[in-house]
Structure 1
Amino acid sequence: MKKQTSGVFDVVMTPEPGEFPASRRLDKRYHGELDARGEGRMLSFVSPVEGSAAYVALERVTGTLAGRAGSFVLQHSGLMNRGVPTLSIVVVPDSGTGALQGLAGRMGIRIEVDGRHWYELEYELEHEPQHPLEAKP
């Protein structure tokens, strides 16, 4: 059964040496039902044409989701085509550990005018009982 949760997150992006592609270390703190820390690397390119850019990233998220402890990996792929954004953030298949083993899903993010970052995570857990009668003691 698919579930959905949302909340805010804080992010610090630290530039790493090099010119192309631009590389940054990601350090995140997720708040809410996803209570976790994220760490990863992002590569990006900004075109000389205003509003066009791209980024890719891998991020390991470690903490709890709906009270289940473990970690999982997110793959990010973002594109701006003259101001029109496209974004895909997915849970890497079979990357879940601990009580998050079997996690699948996708994440959306939005940045408010005031700079606050929000996430929306749609997910399902492969090993979660689908119905209360299926739960084993």
Structure 2
Amino acid sequence: MQPTASARLYFENNAGRLLEHADGYVVFQYHPGKRNLADLQALLTHTSNLLNRNQWHRLLGDQRLMSPFTEEESAWIKTYWLDSSLQRPGGIYGAIILAHDVFARLAMNQVMHEAKASALTYRLFETEETAVAWLRQLR
């Protein structure tokens, strides 16, 4: 997904980019290739800030080009981002477009399985169209 009239670029670094969608949700897109932890932390922190600033509860996570998480990334996502950053009244609903890379899919599934008290309710999708359709039902 490229920025369009309906989605405006909010933040971008080497790990990925965030878009503000006019329908009231965050679009989180991973860039391909290796990431460093600081870039992933910044991207996820900006995601939390954008959700809070707009009082949104919906997120489209585009993992199609994502590389597998490192152990360090997985640990930070579980202990910081999922357990604390998303703790908001009503929780967060995430429509996740699955990665093309099977190892990236496995890494994401392991992180979500091991997350202890996540306020993220999510569904996995093969296509952007079905993911967006599910988010639209949650208004």
Question: Higher strand fraction: Structure 1 or Structure 2?
Answer: 1
TM-score using structure 2 length? 0.28
TM-score using structure 1 length? 0.29
Question: Higher helix fraction: Structure 1 or Structure 2?
Answer: 2
